[in-house]
Structure 1
Amino acid sequence: MEIVEKLQNPNNGDEIKLNPTSNSKPKVVVIMGATGSGKSKLAIDLASHFPIEIINADSMQVYQGLDVLTNKVTPQEQKEVPHHLLGTISPCVEFTAKDFRDSTISMINEVWSRNRLPVIVGGTNYYIQALVSPFLLDDSVEEAEINCLSDSQEDEQPDLEVELMSEDYDCAYNRLKDIDPVAANRIHPNNGRKINQYLNLYARFGVIPSKLLQEKTVENWGQVDNSRYDFCFLCVNASLTTLDPFVDRRVDHMVDAGLLKEVLDIYTMNADYTKGLRQAIGVREFEPFLRCYIMEHQKPCSESHGQTLNDQILKQNIQHIVDSPDDNEWKALLTEAIQQVKLNTRRLVRRQVSTTPFYGR
């Protein structure tokens, strides 16, 4: 017996057939594109024409906190469109591609149970690939990777470890991408710990990590074939000459909107910037400025509400540096950090463009 699921278009009442037969795969829309290309706006615009729910696929926006820095869609901008995996994960945990895959499969089923269309939105390509491809649907692959990485750490080469840890994350990531683009495409560019592990695997065994860990399975990585869903991909494209100045303006807007106050809220000296929310571009870049400023200006606090007051004063003083037209050593250090955020964001845009399979097609 043929099962036809029909959803009404709220604008004109036309029927939209999303799942025409019981044998058909559920339909899922995926909106991809580089940072600043307008993915979120497109998704929300679609909601005025179709009954949809949005599932966030940005690896930093899934975390609680840093709403300005990670450019989360505000409640006003959401226009009452349901959003999932947006600011729901603890900032201290590592939310992997496998975690995203497992959570999203469950959410897709829930959205479909409400006779609505799931729309995946985000620029984290390895999250989307984990959902799209059958590659990560075999949990034994993940277990093999964990075991292999664990075994390899028993005799890691100390000299190589020091060398990699002193490298800029971007340089180390590009080095891994040159050696093994498949492995590089699976991890966040700021995940220095995993980058380090993969490079050490290559140094130890002389075999690229993806081949060592997955062998033949890797051939299907990122391919839509045999997926459990019927995907419709919408790729939002824009030229780098358009995106670069937009990114710079957006960073300036974030600074004006309180980016530094957010970073100060989670700032800890000698923090681990390879896990959780601290991987986000715009956190590590302010480390030199915040470290120097806090060490010089933070005074012992009184026992009564002293720490809260001290934090407030620090935020006010730092915001004064942001707003002040005066040039001084603090302004110069802050300006350097802001320029580094812009540079690293532009680099991210280029990585997203180079690893999004639909660009240029």
Structure 2
Amino acid sequence: MGISMLVSQQPQLLPATMNIPPGRLNLDNFIPWRPKKKVVVVMGATGTGKSRLSIDLASLFPAEIINSDKMQVHEGLDIVTNKITEEERKRVPHHLLGIVGPNADFTASDFCDRASIAMEKILSRGRLPVIAGGSNSYIEALIDDVDYQFRSKYDPCFLCVDVRTPVLHQYVSERVDRMVKKGMIDEARKFFSVNGDYKQGIRKAIGVPEYDMYFRLEPFLDEESRAMLLKKAIQEIKNNNCKLVHRQLEKIHRLRNVKKWNIHRLDATEVFNRKGNEADEAWEELVAGPSMEIVAQFLDRDATIKRNWRHGRFFGRQKIMLHNAL
């Protein structure tokens, strides 16, 4: 009885030939199959080189970049938020950078709406959308929220630039020192307010609330006391960046191990252990090169990319037009 029940529940096969009377086949609700649209997502903790990799991808593939960093969507604080500069963009079109006011809230839902529009515009131009940024909650909402139907429309390729934690901690700490030299303190001072809300808008960014006590007491302290208080604020910024690294890595591990996202890990640790030309060579060998091959295979252009890579033309910035693959 159990077997007969199972058999009876199986879907019935249609006969090999069907006699459908002429004019009786209704095609009004027939939806032709279309391949999913390709999208590349570049992930990683802060400071790992996500922006650099997205630019490298756009140097070979005709791509446009969609920012997924929740602080960089705001206007202002370019140094504090480490926003990619015009020079670093290398004329590659970027979307969702500095698009809302400093005090505005920009939720995951807002990101999904804007990113969806940007993706369709990019694809309509026959180009590849590359989503890059460290706000994994934004990316997760876009990919897995059923309201946006991302999985039914798009085929994502996930790349994750990874660096061993002790090496990355040292790097992000040194980066804070470089940001201070570039004018980080004066930039943050412009956003200081006695009644400022550090839970809203761009003031939530690491590198703003940490200076609050320093800016409040600065006029009333002698030079030595000011220096000590400033040093404490800078150290707090470094500590908070290291905590951010851990939170970002935990989210990526959850997406890979719990939600089973197929994330391609690219170990950039050796890049950060080297200097100058040696670091650039390590980047091309360990991060950019493998990423290009992964994306090329994803776009069904594997053989062409490998041939260009092996003949040393990869970083000659030859672009391969992929209109048919997108």
TM-score by length of 1: 0.60
- Asked if 1:349 corresponds to 2:245, the answer is yes
Question: Are 2:106 and 1:95 aligned?
Answer: yes
Query: Amino acid of the residue matched to residue 158 of structure 2?
Result: F
Among 157, 161, 167, which residue is 1:236 paired with? 161
Deviation at 1:227?
A: 4.1
Aligned-residue offset at 1:253: 0.4
Deviation at 1:136, TM superposition (A): 4.8
Separation (CA, whole Å) in 2 of partners of 1:30 and 1:360: 10
Distance 1:128 1:31, change over 3 A: same
1:328 pairs with 2:253: no
Structure 1 partner of 2:213: 288
Question: Residue 159 of structure 2 contacts residue 264 of structure 2 at CA under 8 Å; is this kept in 1?
Answer: no
Return the match for 1:105 from 94, 116, 138.
116
Question: Aligned partner of 1:342: which letter?
Answer: K
Match of 1:73 among 76, 84, 96: 84
Q: How many residues align?
A: 226
SS in 2 for 1:232: strand
| Alpha-carbon distance in 2 for matches of 1:32, 1:74 | 19
Aligned equivalent of 1:117: 128
Q: Give the equivalent residue in structure 1 for 2:50.
A: 39
Partner deviation per Cα, 1:77-122 (whole Å, 9 max, x = no partner): 0000000111121111100000000001001010011110000001
Give the percent of matched residue pairs that are identical in Structure 1 and Structure 2. Answer: 47
Contact 1:134 1:227 in 2 (8 A): no
User: Aligned partners of 1:230 and 1:37: how far apart in 2?
Assistant: 25
SS in structure 1 at match of 2:163? coil
Change (3 A) 1:136 1:287: farther
CA-based RMSD of the aligned residues comes to 2.0
Alignment TM-score, normalising by the size of structure 2:
0.66
Structure 2, unpaired ranges of 5+: 1-31, 257-262, 266-326
Higher relative contact order (CA 8 A, sep 6+): 2
Q: Is the 8 A contact 1:133 1:227 kept in 2?
A: no
- In the TM superposition, 1:15-30 aligns within 5 A as 23-30=34-41
Residues 176-195 of structure 1: pairs in structure 2 closer than 5 A: none
Question: Radius of gyration: which is bigger?
Answer: 2
Alpha-carbon separation, structure 2, partners of 1:130 and 1:136: 9
Residue type matched to 1:350 in 2? Answer: H
The structural deviation recorded for 1:134 is 2.9
1:9-49 superposed Cα distances (whole Å, 9 cap, x missing partner): xxxxxxxxxxxx96111111000000011100000011111
SS of the equivalent of 1:268 reads: coil
Task: Output the CA distance in 1 between the equivalents of 2:86 and 2:194.
Answer: 32
| Preserved CA contact (<8 Å) 1:39 1:122 | yes
**1:285/1:136 CA distance change after superposition, 3 Å:** farther
Q: For residues 196-235 of structure 1, what are the structure 2 equivalents within 5 Å?
A: 226-235=151-160
Q: Report if the CA contact (8 A) 1:132-1:227 is conserved.
A: no
Q: 1:242 Cα deviation (Å)?
A: 1.3
